[in-house]
Amino acid sequence: MDADTVKEKIQGLSGFSMIRLYGVDCSQVENVFAAITDSQKLFLGIYDIDQTESALDTIASAAATYGWDRIDTIAVGNELVNSGTKSVDEVVTAIATARSYLASTSYAGSIVTVDTFVAVMEHPELCENSDYAAVNCHPFFDGGVFAYGAGPFVAAQIGFVAASCSGKNVFVTETGWPHSGNSNGDATPSTDNQKIALDSLVSVVADDIMLFTAYDDLWKADGEYDVEKYWGIY
């Protein structure tokens, strides 16, 4: 996706205060930096923690042009423990690497790792080594949550995570509802149910969540319920 296309897409998200990226490849960091408004901030991600310093080089290069103060959070990995891709110790080491690197810059934002709320509760070291507990929480995958119950479900999990993380602040870095695919118990994907779920989430936990995702991810595999591509709000 070229810079002009990125700018067009980001302009459609002008009502959101923060934009999350998951990696640094394909010039995405500099292109999104250039496209956001002065009132928006970035939640940046290091996808491959084996390349943490290289990813931070890319982030630092863009920040030198656009300003470190435009970055709210840098996430070191996404759901790596939940997926079994990395161990807790490997993630904690990567966080330490990022802290050491960023200490020599003007960065004053947060450093976290993101994982599922279940993984973080099972491995509180993930939040202990993060500036806040950053978790992905999708009511759809519970199987016992109707769309209208999405907000209360996420609110409950925020409480459980906070208790597991000694009262540390919790921010849900992914939550939403698919608009297409197959049902998972009480959870049924549809355009109407997506709106119902998003309304519930915004009504109950608006200040504590980041909605997933702006646009469909058609490059993804279908997944167990054929929903992985279809979380796009627009």
Q: Which of 125, 174, 224, 228 is catalytic?
A: 174
* Chain-centre distance for alpha carbon 40: 16
Residue (of 104, 89, 110) closest to 42 by Cα position: 110
Identify whether 174 is a catalytic site residue. yes
- 108: CB partners within 8 A, 6+ apart: 68, 69
Residue 173 burial (CB count, 10 A):
23
Distance of CA 101 to the CA centre of its chain: 22
Identify the CA nearest to 181 among candidates 129, 140, 211, 137: 140
Residue 159's H or E segment, with its range, is helix 150-164
Rg over CA atoms, the chain: 17
Which residues are part of the catalytic machinery?
Answer: 174
